[in-house]
């Protein structure tokens, strides 16, 4: 069996590759444009002849099509990550989502190759009635706030996936990821936890945007990739959009305080008004929390947050990286 992971040397992709390497006999192709992916994320795997890392762009149909066609299943994770990167490069980010996803789905049709499509809780936008269920309406902000370009493109990806399922019987499962976190995530383009951990370890102020009352539900990447793998291999998930996350929500202020405590840091918290965050029309969802009943009914389990475990894993990684540089 050959498995293709687009975005395979990225944060989530590298953890999924590790799971596949350890739990299956698959030959694994990791496809990545290295925009945020790093070969070092998968260097523990690429020494083995079962794993091949290929540089390329999902927008390039001639490159991605044969790779999909020679694979028996595809996890399509390639996407721009981080609100800051999306705001900086909206066109690039949208083209990856729109053209890349269409290329992957189109190439999968002839052999009915199962495809997992990574979507995002960003699609719930500014909805307020938590927890968010898949059947809920989506509430995106104005087009002028380019943050929402990502959610708009991912919304098209979801509709495309369901259209391929309907029109071509393509076995496709869509997972809406809720703030997946863990080792190897870069804080370069937003991503609150790696940023706060780095700030705390350097005894610098933790930069809380707004008043810190906004909430997120953080999910350990190891649980997210387990759910990802199971969704693609569970026929009841095909043709479905399913939340992938842990139901417990934490405010960003509480998150900052926990990180300061766990790292025994001298850092203070500094509150940055939204107008002064990197984009003048920055908008921030106030609440985000998944309804996991659909995931539970399909897989028989759902991720559970142990925030201290997540934070300790990231602190340990960053301490090791700092110590070795």
Question: Which residues are identified as catalytic?
Answer: 150
Q: Name which position in 83, 123, 155, 237 contacts ligand UDP (CB under 6 A).
A: 83
Q: Name which position in 123, 242, 252, 315 contacts ligand UDP (CB under 6 A).
A: 252
The least CB distance from residue 289 to ligand UDP, in Å, is 11
76 binds ligand UDP (CB under 6 A): no
The least CB distance from residue 156 to ligand UDP, in Å, is 19
Q: How many CB atoms lie within 10 A of CB 285?
A: 19
224 binds ligand UDP (CB under 6 A): no
246 binds ligand UDP (CB under 6 A): no
Which residue pairs from 99-102 have beta carbons closer than 8 angstroms and sit at least 24 positions apart in sequence? 99/58, 99/59, 100/6, 100/57, 100/58, 100/59, 100/64, 100/76, 101/58, 101/76, 101/157, 101/160, 101/161, 102/160
Tell me which stretch binds ligand UDP (CB under 6 A): 4-12, 32-40, 151-159, 206-214.
Answer: 206-214
Q: Name which position in 192, 225, 242, 259 contacts ligand UDP (CB under 6 A).
A: 192
Kind and range of the H or E element at 180?
Answer: strand 180-181
Cα(77)–Cα(6) distance, integer angstroms: 5
**Secondary structure class of 266 (helix, strand, coil):** coil
Residues of this chain, 122-141, that bind ligand UDP according to CB under 6 A: 122
11 binds ligand UDP (CB under 6 A): no
Cα(299)–Cα(147) distance, integer angstroms: 32
Cα(189)–Cα(88) distance, integer angstroms: 9
207 binds ligand UDP (CB under 6 A): yes
Residue with structure tokens 């790292």? 263
The least CB distance from residue 282 to ligand UDP, in Å, is 8
DSSP per-residue letters across 95-140? HIIIIIHHHHHHHHTTTT--EEEEEEGGGGBT--SSSBPTTSPPB-
Q: Name which position in 9, 119, 179, 267 contacts ligand UDP (CB under 6 A).
A: 179
Tell me which stretch binds ligand UDP (CB under 6 A): 29-37, 45-53, 90-98, 184-192.
Answer: 184-192
Tell me which stretch binds ligand UDP (CB under 6 A): 58-66, 165-173, 202-210, 306-314.
Answer: 202-210
Please count the residues of this chain forming the interface with ligand UDP, following the rule CB under 6 A: 14
Tell me which stretch binds ligand UDP (CB under 6 A): 45-53, 204-212, 241-249, 295-303.
Answer: 204-212
Cα(18)–Cα(176) distance, integer angstroms: 21
User: Between residues 273 and 300, which has the closer beta carbon with respect to ligand UDP?
Assistant: 273
The least CB distance from residue 243 to ligand UDP, in Å, is 14
Nearest-5° Cα angle at 101, 178 to 305:
15
| Per-residue burial over 164-187, b = 16 or more CB atoms within 10 Å of its CB, e = otherwise | bbeeeebbbbbbbbbbbbbbbbbb
250 binds ligand UDP (CB under 6 A): no
User: Between residues 73 and 220, which has the closer beta carbon with respect to ligand UDP?
Assistant: 220
Cα(3)–Cα(37) distance, integer angstroms: 18
Question: Which residues of this chain interact with ligand UDP, rule CB under 6 A?
Answer: 83, 122, 179, 190-192, 195, 207-209, 214, 216, 252, 284
């Amino acid at each position: 069996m050959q498995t293709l992971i687009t975005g395979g040397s990225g944060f989530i992709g590298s953890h999924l590759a590790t799971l596949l390497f350890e739990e299956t006999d698959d030959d694994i192709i990791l496809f990545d444009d290295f925009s945020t992916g790093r070969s070092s994320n998968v260097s523990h795997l690429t020494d083995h002849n079962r794993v091949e890392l290929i540089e390329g762009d999902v927008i390039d149909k001639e490159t991605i099509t044969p790779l999909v066609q020679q694979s028996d299943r595809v996890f399509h994770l390639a996407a721009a990550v981080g609100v800051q990167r999306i705001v900086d490069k909206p066109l690039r980010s949208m083209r990856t989502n729109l053209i890349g996803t269409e290329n992957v789905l189109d190439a999968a049709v002839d052999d009915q190759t199962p495809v997992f499509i990574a979507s995002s809780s960003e699609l719930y936008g500014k909805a307020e009635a938590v927890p968010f269920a898949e059947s809920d309406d989506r509430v995106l902000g104005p087009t002028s706030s380019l943050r929402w370009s990502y959610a708009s493109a991912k919304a098209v990806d979801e509709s495309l996936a369901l259209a391929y399922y309907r029109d071509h019987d393509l076995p496709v499962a869509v997972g809406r990821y809720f703030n997946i976190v863990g080792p190897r995530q870069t804080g370069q383009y937003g991503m609150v936890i790696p940023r706060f951990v780095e700030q705390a370890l350097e005894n610098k102020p933790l930069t809380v945007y707004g008043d810190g009352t906004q909430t997120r539900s953080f999910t350990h990447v190891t649980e997210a990739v387990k759910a990802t793998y199971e969704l693609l291999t569970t026929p009841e998930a095909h043709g479905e959009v399913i939340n992938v996350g842990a139901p417990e929500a934490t405010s960003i202020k509480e998150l900052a305080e926990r990180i300061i405590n766990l790292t025994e840091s001298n850092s203070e918290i500094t509150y940055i008004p939204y107008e002064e965050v990197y984009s003048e029309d920055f908008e921030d969802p106030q609440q985000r929390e998944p309804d996991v009943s659909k995931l539970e009914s399909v897989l028989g389990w759902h991720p559970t947050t142990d925030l201290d475990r997540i934070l300790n894993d990231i602190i340990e990684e960053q301490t090791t990286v700092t110590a070795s540089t």
